[in-house]
Structures are given as C-alpha cells and as structure tokens.
Structure 1
Amino acid sequence: MVAAVRGGLLSLDEACNRYTLTVEEFLSWQNSIDRHGLAGLRATRVQDYRSN
C-alpha cells in the first residue's frame, strides 16, 4: 500500500479509506518502512525498533 501511494497508483486519501487508517497511522507505516524496511511493520519487531 505504501508503495502504491508513493508510485501514484493510489492517493493517500484512497489508501486511508480503503484500509481504515488515519493519515497519522499511514505516515507511521511509511516511516517504519523507511527506517527498517518491511520488517519494521511486523508487530513482533515493534519493541526492537522503538528503542532505536
């Protein structure tokens, strides 16, 4: 979904509506991907990344 928004295939509003996210949640996902790759979205890894 983040890649689709970045690539212009889906607008931010469309993505948030489709996946019932707030803009802040989407931006948080985007930031996690930027900082940690796709592994940053795994719930089991959140604690590891929050301490960094």
Structure 2
Amino acid sequence: MLEFKTRPASVAGPLGPLTIDDLPSSCTTYWVSRRKAEVLAAIDGGMLALEDACQRYRLSPEELAAWRRSIDRAGIPGLRVTKMREYRGRYIG
C-alpha cells in the first residue's frame, strides 16, 4: 500500500500566506530576494519538495543550499545578489 502524503494548501511566506499559485513562475530567470524567499518558504512548509523545486525552477540543490545559507546568515536582504558578495566575504572563512 502506497503512503499518500498531503501537502499544505498554504504556508507562511515572506509577505504573508503563500499558496502554490503565489509561487514564482516556472519560467522565472531573474531571481529577486522575495522570490527566492518564497521558494524556500514553500520547501520549508512542505508545500514543495526540494526535488520538485529543483526541477520546476531548473536549479541545483547546491544553489538552493546557497540561498538557505544566505537567508540563515542575513535574512531576506542576504538573498540579494549585490549583497551576497558582502555577506559571503563576511561569513565564509
């Protein structure tokens, strides 16, 4: 018998409740910090599996792990590409 795992209809996102319809388009190529935070929130909340996120957005697990490290270290502002260089130099050692 297969185990069926239900996924939540919504999770807490960076700007409030987040549903699957609120997630960035699968065609997204320009990643602003809010979109990155939404994808991470969907994964954390169980709405989107890591493997599904990688496939949907054509991202590697390593790239998502880098986003995770950035948000853990500096919050959503740490996800900004222009800030990543600053935060990276400050925290990697």
TM-score by length of 1: 0.91
Percent identity between the two aligned chains = 48
Residues 1-52 of structure 1: matches in 2 within 5 Å? 1-52=39-90
Structure showing greater radius of gyration is 2
Give the length in aligned residue pairs.
52
Gap runs ≥5 in structure 1? none
Give 4+ residue runs of structure 1 displaced > 6 Å after superposition.
none
The structure where strand makes up a greater share of residues is 2
RMSD across aligned C-alpha pairs, in angstroms?
Answer: 0.8
Bigger relative CO (Cα 8 Å, ≥ 6 apart): 2
The residue aligned with 2:12 is: none
The structure where helix makes up a greater share of residues is 1
Amino acid at match of 2:45: G
TM-score by length of 2: 0.53
How far did residue 11 of structure 1 move?
A: 0.1
